[in-house]
Amino acid sequence: MKRKIITIDEEKCNGCGDCIPECPEGALRIIDGKARLVSDLFCDGLGACLGHCPRGAISVEEREAEEYDERKVMENVIKQGRNVIRAHLEHLRDHGQDRFLDEAVGFLREKEIEIPEGFSRKGSRPKCEAPTPGCPGARLMDLSADAEKKEPVAGREKAKTRSRLRQWPVQLNLVPPGAPFLEGTDLLISADCVPYAYPDFHRDFLDGKIVLNGCPKFDNIGRYREKLAAIFRENDIRSVTVAHMEVPCCRGLQVAVEQAVEEAGKDIPLREAVVGIKGERKFEN
């Protein structure tokens, strides 16, 4: 199968080993003075090791590779102790890998190994702004208090448009279905290009909504559909607005949302907004 997986530039790698502790999955080893990927089965391709290579020798590529196996990974992780188990679970949670997270927790139950606090219940919701050692860019944050501040009054100088962003992160792949800000919300699902093309995106689209963004052309649209179906199943979503560009490939996002709603068995009001490449609204229902 073709999937994302790390690759190591041997010319840049000096065998320092800084990447090894950041890979609890056990996919990396120092062999003959160089970091090596010892098994495709152990590498999830999420790149926790990337930022810890001082020489920039590690990157992520998409190629033919064996499918990642969470159970084999857990067999290696549990040998390394409680702290590594927690780090691995947080890594999966912070990157929105809910299926693998459920498999990992189930494996711990089977082996009668203590499950770290916060992961004992399937679908348990992580607290916003929880101090975790995981990826800072994926840390859940509730920004609604800032988003609800009043618009500044225009004086002699033109008033700046305030941000309406109510949460972090915004990338669909990084938001777990159990994120607390998803419950009881009006959801905006936006294609990546829309905020660049439409000048009043925050005021006209984002105000009062939680936003998830993605690109149906370059990302895995099947994973989007699965993630959205899980979000719809686990939360009381009041409404969904899909904002996408007029180009044909971008409508894949609308189709994925419609399929996810059907898959979740929910009756959720759906709206579609199409933005032209010159920034005008082309269609809205």
Q: What does the pLDDT look like over 158-182, one tens digit per residue? A: 556 788 999 999 999 888 888 889 9
Q: What does the pLDDT look like over 196-252, one tens digit per residue? A: 999 999 999 999 999 999 998 888 888 888 889 989 998 999 999 999 999 988 989
Q: Which two tokens stand for residue 122?
A: 């399937």
| Rounded CA separation 25/37 (Å) | 11
State residue 272's pLDDT score: 96
Q: What does the pLDDT look like over 134-143, one tens digit per residue? A: 455 566 777 7
* Ranges of each domain in the chain: 2-64, 70-110, 136-148+162-284
CB atoms within 10 A of CB 267: 6
State residue 146's pLDDT score: 67
Which stretch of 30-34, 50-54, 101-105, 204-208 has the lowest confidence by average pLDDT? 50-54
Residue of 31, 48, 123, 122 whose CA lies nearest to 88: 48
6-26 mean pLDDT:
85
The model's confidence at residue 133, banded by pLDDT at 50, 70 and 90, is very low
| Rounded CA separation 232/237 (Å) | 7
For domain 2-64, say whether CATH 3.60.20.10 is its number: no
- pLDDT of residue 157 exceeding 80, the answer is no
Cα 14 to chain centroid, rounded: 31
State residue 196's pLDDT score: 94
The model's confidence at residue 123, banded by pLDDT at 50, 70 and 90, is very low
State residue 261's pLDDT score: 95
Name the average pLDDT for the chain.
Answer: 83
User: Domain 136-148+162-284, what fold?
Assistant: Rossmann fold (3.40.50)
Q: What does the pLDDT look like over 45-92, one tens digit per residue? A: 877 776 678 888 888 888 888 888 888 889 888 888 888 888 888 878
185 neighbors 237 (Cβ within 8 angstroms): yes
Which stretch of 1-5, 119-123, 142-146 has the lowest confidence by average pLDDT? 119-123
Paired with 168 in beta bridges are: 141
State residue 166's pLDDT score: 92
